[in-house]
Amino acid sequence: GAGVSQSPSNKVTEKGKDVELRCDPISGHTALYWYRQRLGQGLEFLIYFQGNSAPDKSGLPSDRFSAERTGESVSTLTIQRTQQEDSAVYLCASSSGPSRFFGPGTRLTVL
């Protein structure tokens, strides 16, 4: 497709389980971002990939969070030992310039 896609669209998990979220960026976009939006809060930057450079992980809230990206393609965000405060919509965006294009997000609910 022409846009950024994310899967799954919804994920319900139990506290303590690991989850993996996937993002397919727009083809040719060298930059990829992960954001989180918790209920009633703004968009929170998590991690940024630019080409083959080392990713900017400064927004990751804890070492339970990690992300990978292979080249300029798919990225996965992994949350280990999920906690209830991890419940949020996780948004992925890609760009080839200053403006970024967002995916529809993955709504994560940790019970």
Partner 1 sequence: DQQVKQNSPSLSVQEGRISILNCDYTNSMFDYFLWYKKYPAEGPTFLISISSIKDKNEDGRFTVFLNKSAKHLSLHIVPSQPGDSAVYFCAASGGTGNQFYFGTGTSLTVIP
Residues at the interface with partner 1 (CB under 8 A): 4, 31, 33, 35, 41-45, 48, 50, 56, 58-59, 91, 93, 95, 98-105
CB of 31 to partner 1, least distance (A): 6
Distance CA 69, CA 71 (A): 6
Query: How is the chain split among helix, strand and coil, in percent rounded to 5?
Result: 5, 50, 50
Distance CA 22, CA 106 (A): 9
CB of 85 to partner 1, least distance (A): 17
Nearer to partner 1, 19 or 31 (CB): 31
Distance CA 106, CA 21 (A): 7
CB of 37 to partner 1, least distance (A): 9
Nearer to partner 1, 44 or 80 (CB): 44
